[in-house]
Structure 1
Amino acid sequence: MATNEVTPATATDAIRYTLWQLVLYFLRLGAMGFGGPVALVGYMRRDLVEQRGWITEADYKEGLALAQLAPGPMAAQTAIYLGYVHYRILGATLAGIAFVLPSFCMVVVLGWAYSQFGGLSWMQAVFYGVGAAVIGIIAISAHKLTTKCIGKDKLLWAIFLVLASVTVITESEIAWLFLAAGVVTWLWRAPPKRWSGGELAAALPVDMAQTGSFMATLDWSLLTQIGVFFAKAGAFVFGSGLAIVPFLYGGVVTEHHWLNEKQFVDAVAVAMITPGPVVITVGFIGYLVAGFPGACVAALATFLPCYLFTIIPAPYFKKYGKLPAIVAFVDGVTAAAVGAITGSVIVIAKRSIVDVPTAVIALLTVAILWRYKKLQEPVVVVSAALIGLILYPLTHP
């Protein structure tokens, strides 16, 4: 089919970049993009929409909306969709690999060091500073997304506030609320005469759930157990990469007893102090459980579902995305996504800002990034890590 081919030459004048330029961009973002999913999707908008003009605002919003609707890590799915926009399946595949590969290599190296040297005691000190700075980075990204995506639309603001409040109260992202937000906006702006997609949408989760239950009952080898568990994590967890942490804890620590609590906390800390998607913590966990093969299986199993959940519906987003009903639906889902993202800033802050020094680091990060808009985030993260190494022994004798 034509939709699966690289963009034809007849459209080249509409494309301002090559496939390899896009791959190099995502390699760089995966290697230097700190701040978690909220910050990462913010960087994509800033770099690809505002600064370079490679991606249109409409395509970006469609990608963000699809990432929120489908299960899996939001930042990785957004990257995959943006790769699909002009270069279809090849672009989606290479963009996704380029985005995930740098951080995967980093967590594998850290997993090796962790196994060889019996833990990473210095990580608490680094995370003390970096965790606070990340809050500032996320807050700036959430502000930019809010001002650009919500505008002055009262309905979108109402959706934004509801989702932000629900996220803060429940400390989770409720998938059906994103769908509800899209439907409400759709019905308000462009009431449909008919709609025939409900049966498929209703049937899909049931089939997936039955498949997951069947697979969970089988007796697999360790690597296959790892693959099945992390595939379920990638297929059934909605929202940002942080949303996968409670699911992983229940399976890795409580159910399978692959790691103890300290090892699991260290794994999450590794994901937070390394660039790229937070969900790459699965690579670290996989390494601790079964070495390098375990890391590869865990990462592949986690990201494969989100890849499929992005490229399969992507042609329909591209084909029908300009219809008034679809535009309204996407606007509603986007408002819900930005609201949930903003709420997650508060949720994460409650865990990372634990005393006066961390509060000061977070506020300074916001002030510095607000004042110096071209300052690269890795500079802030490295500075915060050094501050953490100095302050943590003083505040935690």
Structure 2
Amino acid sequence: MVTAAAPAYSLGQLVRYMLRLGTFGFGGPVALAGYMRRDLVERLGWISESDFKEGLALAQLAPGPMAAQLAIYLGFVHYRILGATLVGFTFVLPSFVMVVALGWAYAHFGGLSWMQAVFYGVGAAVVGIIAMSAYKLTTKTVGKDKLLWTIFLTLATVTFMTESEIAWLFIAGGLVGWLWRAPPKWLHKGGVNALAAANLAAASGIAAGLDWPLLAQIGAFFTKAGAFVFGSGLAIVPFLYGGVVTEHHWLNDKQFVDAVAVAMITPGPVVITVGFIGYLVAGLPGAVVAALGTFLPCYLFTVIPAPYFKKYGRLPGVKAFVDGITAAAVGAIAGSVIVIAKRSIVDVPTLAIALVTIALLWRFKRLQEPVVVTAAALLGLVVYPLIHSHAI
């Protein structure tokens, strides 16, 4: 029940795992959360089920990219600030390096025409991967609990209909679970402290660009994105579009769509597309400032409330609150699968790729997702030109 005083793994082992996940973990936040649960909770037993659920709940409560926050929290569980810092850095670094390299290629070779074909196949496979991850998360965290299913279905429906993740509904889900399962005997502890602590971090990431107005502008915008956008990569994309394309005119529509495609075909958090956007706007300094601005708030929003989750997380009221938020979070994840599917499943071949991906992952439990993604990319390169010969 209680987190073991002596962890069954070293900090180095966890850092190596997160470096590998950041390098090869495809599928966005839903899939990445599923991988962490499968590997760290089920296969290796390094993280307890309750610690994972607390991390998932906190990642949904706080603004910023869900997968990165979950990884940071899991680093905090046994190794506190040092673990959270090293895990967060190593988890984000590989995909950042990849998108900067792709940004360089994009800027120097005039676009990524081949990427449409790759994204055609990969996008469909990603739908299959995240659908399987959402199914596993649902069965493990919601189970047969009628109250949690009600919260789950409500959030799934709202996310599907609005195509966004509404933060206050996560909190409402937690309150419903708390009031229904453990009527309040202490209104001055636990969740209230954790929520209040989330407001402590506000301004970060812009100092590095004070000597150059454009970098300062980039830092301010992406810090705002990291500090005030709730949910996963799905939620931040409309916000980025409004600022990058409509407000600042840093990119045009096609460049922005290519940036989202880059995020989908590279491993790690989808939000790492900010590195690609930052590179196109202001080169490597722009990429660094954009990434810092986005990820530093999410780091602070995870590390500051984490001790409260650890201290009060086993109290019945807080446990019921966390269970409610978790059900809400998984419901929103399930709804986002449908939203992403609407955008990636565009014809019969993409539907076939998604369904075959689900069937393969269902049948072959040890099948590695990067293998599926690579096969889908190659398939896209073959099939897309045949269907859209005018596009390439």
Fold in common (TM above 0.5): yes
| Pair 1:82-2:74 in alignment | yes
- Among 29, 35, 38, which residue is 1:37 paired with? 29
- 1:143 is matched with 135
Q: Secondary structure at the match of 2:314?
A: coil
| Pair 1:11-2:30 in alignment | no
- 1:392 is matched with 384
Query: Which aligned segments of 4 or more residues in structure 1 are displaced greater than 4 angstroms?
Result: 197-209
The 2-side partners of 1:396 and 1:124 are apart by 10
| Pair 1:131-2:123 in alignment | yes
Question: Quick one: which amino acid aligns to residue 243 of structure 2?
Answer: G
- 1:263 is matched with 255
- 2:86 is matched with 94
| Pair 1:305-2:297 in alignment | yes
| Pair 1:103-2:85 in alignment | no
Q: Secondary structure at the match of 1:191?
A: coil
Question: Quick one: which amino acid aligns to residue 93 of structure 1?
Answer: T
- 2:169 is matched with 177
**Residues 375 and 207 (structure 1 numbering): CA distance in 2 closer, same or farther, change over 3 Å?**
closer
Q: Secondary structure at the match of 2:5?
A: helix
Alignment deviations for residues 171-213 of structure 1 (CA, whole Å, 9 cap, x no partner): 110000000000010001110124136987887899989x79x
Alignment deviations for residues 150-191 of structure 1 (CA, whole Å, 9 cap, x no partner): 011100000001000101111110000000000010001110
Q: Secondary structure at the match of 2:267?
A: coil
The 2-side partners of 1:202 and 1:46 are apart by 28
Q: Secondary structure at the match of 2:26?
A: coil
- 1:249 is matched with 241
Contact 2:245/2:251 (CA < 8 Å) preserved in 1? Answer: yes
- 1:236 is matched with 228
Alignment deviations for residues 373-392 of structure 1 (CA, whole Å, 9 cap, x no partner): 10000000000000000000
The 2-side partners of 1:248 and 1:204 are apart by 26
Q: CA deviation at 1:220?
A: 7.0
The 2-side partners of 1:99 and 1:115 are apart by 26
Q: CA deviation at 1:242?
A: 1.9
The 1-side partners of 2:86 and 2:233 are apart by 20
Alignment deviations for residues 241-272 of structure 1 (CA, whole Å, 9 cap, x no partner): 22111000010111111111111110000000
- 2:370 is matched with 378
Alpha-carbon RMSD across the aligned residues, in angstroms, is 2.1
Question: Quick one: which amino acid aligns to residue 140 of structure 1?
Answer: M
Q: Identity across aligned pairs (percent)?
A: 78
| Pair 1:73-2:65 in alignment | yes
The 2-side partners of 1:331 and 1:307 are apart by 23
Question: Quick one: which amino acid aligns to residue 31 of structure 1?
Answer: T
**Residues 202 and 80 (structure 1 numbering): CA distance in 2 closer, same or farther, change over 3 Å?**
closer
Question: Quick one: which amino acid aligns to residue 5 of structure 2?
Answer: A
Unmatched segments (≥5 aa) in structure 2? none
What does 1:181-330 align with in structure 2 at a 5 Å threshold?
181-196=173-188, 221-330=213-322
Question: Quick one: which amino acid aligns to residue 77 of structure 1?
Answer: Q
- 1:163 is matched with 155
Question: Quick one: which amino acid aligns to residue 89 of structure 2?
Answer: I
Question: Quick one: which amino acid aligns to residue 44 of structure 2?
Answer: R
Question: Quick one: which amino acid aligns to residue 163 of structure 1?
Answer: L
Give the structure-2-normalised TM-score.
0.94
